[in-house]
């Protein structure tokens, strides 16, 4: 266990940036946010020797990394370089003893995705994400008769050295509708030591091989196309901006079970009841559109609302509700 004592945060404002400098007993963290750009520079150095870099790179204001990131040990040993813009990486083979196994499993996971979605979709819409991990797993049968693959020992993330051979590989992917519109952690593939999918029967969650693919080609939807569709199919009048996101029906009991859909919202009204934020209720009213990302067909449009309830300063927002 590492104790990060001597914690200190310093904030600095310049004409063009906002800087947050965090210090603890091990690291000095420099985070510089550019006011007029969607860019944040992030750098970690070791306190024992602040000339020695630990991790450094760029991210956008949604905390998505881009460009090249590098990591070093305190003795200067290079560990890896990740090119987030091209979803590639190089690593120190002397430090990453079992990385060749991860590499081989990633190729098997790629093949599974190509079989499900098609080569065109894989090339244009799927991006490898480096947040996966490895572990030792085993099957366990519970008293109710259900059998599940459980994690017995966590071994490490995808981008850190591990010191034991895993039998389970969790490989994650992002989806993109354009080079500037990327949605994190949308697909997860879990493989056993032979590269086969670990298939758990579930009454609630959709497995990777249960995804409904409309057709094996790339997504056609973009923010610009979605905005045009919404303007051509108006709901309540509003001057507020359109908010867009790609969603997936993970729950089998849901309306969009196993399906991807592109969702656009536009708030047009708001009501507050009570003393916000300690104890109150906030009702927000939206125009809501849902679009098939492959065909750009409008599949849903209706005014909806969300209700946020605050109690003692803590808030919870429910799902979209129809307006009665």
Query: Which range of residues forms the domain containing residue 73?
Result: 8-90
How many residues comprise the chain? 324
Last residue within a domain, chosen from 90, 112, 131: 90
pLDDT over 70, % of the chain: 98
Mean pLDDT lowest among 18-22, 115-119, 148-152, 168-172: 148-152
* pLDDT band, very low/low/confident/very high, at 252 (cuts 50, 70, 90): confident
Last residue within a domain, chosen from 90, 121, 149: 90
- pLDDT in the model for residue 5: 53
Q: 169: closest CA among 148, 194, 200?
A: 194
84 plus 105 within the same structural domain = no
The total of other beta-carbon atoms located within 10 Å of residue 299's CB is 13
Last residue within a domain, chosen from 210, 239, 264: 210
What's the structural domain count of the chain? 3
What is the arithmetic mean of pLDDT over 159-180? 95
Residue 216 belongs to some domain of the structure: no
What is the arithmetic mean of pLDDT over 152-177? 96
117 plus 204 within the same structural domain = yes
Whether residue 2 is predicted with pLDDT greater than 70 in this model: the reply is no
118 plus 190 within the same structural domain = yes
Query: Is residue 319 within 8 Å of residue 286, measured between CB atoms?
Result: no
Q: Which pTM value belongs to this model?
A: 0.88
Q: How far apart are CA 302 and CA 255, in angstroms?
A: 15
């Amino acid at each position: 266990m590492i104790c990060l004592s001597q914690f200190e945060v310093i904030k600095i404002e310049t004409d063009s940036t906002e800087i947050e400098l965090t210090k603890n007993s091990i690291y000095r963290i420099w985070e510089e946010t550019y006011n007029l750009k969607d860019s944040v520079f992030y750098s970690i150095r070791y306190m024992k020797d602040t000339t020695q870099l630990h991790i450094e790179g760029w991210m956008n204001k949604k905390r998505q990394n881009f460009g090249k990131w590098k990591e070093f040990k305190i003795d200067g040993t290079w560990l890896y370089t990740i090119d987030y813009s091209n979803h590639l990486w190089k690593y120190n083979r002397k430090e990453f003893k079992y990385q060749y196994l991860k590499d081989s499993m990633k190729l098997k996971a790629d093949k599974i995705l190509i079989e499900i979605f098609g080569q065109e979709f894989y090339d244009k819409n799927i991006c490898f994400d480096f947040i996966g991990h490895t572990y030792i797993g085993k099957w366990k049968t519970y008293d109710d008769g259900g059998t599940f693959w459980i994690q017995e020992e966590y071994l490490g993330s995808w981008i850190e050295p591990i010191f034991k051979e895993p039998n389970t590989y969790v490989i994650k992917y992002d989806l993109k509708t354009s080079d500037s519109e990327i949605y994190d952690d949308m697909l997860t593939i879990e493989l056993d030591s032979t590269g086969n999918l670990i298939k758990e029967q579930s009454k609630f969650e959709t497995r990777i091989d249960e995804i409904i693919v409309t057709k094996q080609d790339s997504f056609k939807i973009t923010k610009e196309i979605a905005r045009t569709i919404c303007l051509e199919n108006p709901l309540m009048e509003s001057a507020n901006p359109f908010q867009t996101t790609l969603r997936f029906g993970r729950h089998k009991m849901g309306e969009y079970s196993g399906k991807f859909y592109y969702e656009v919202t536009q708030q047009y009204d708001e009501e507050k009841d009570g003393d916000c934020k300690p104890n109150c209720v906030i009702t927000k009213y939206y125009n809501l559109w849902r679009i098939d990302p492959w065909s750009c067909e409008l599949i849903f449009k209706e005014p909806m609302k969300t209700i946020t309830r605050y109690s003692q300063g803590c808030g919870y927002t429910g799902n979209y509700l129809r307006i009665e």
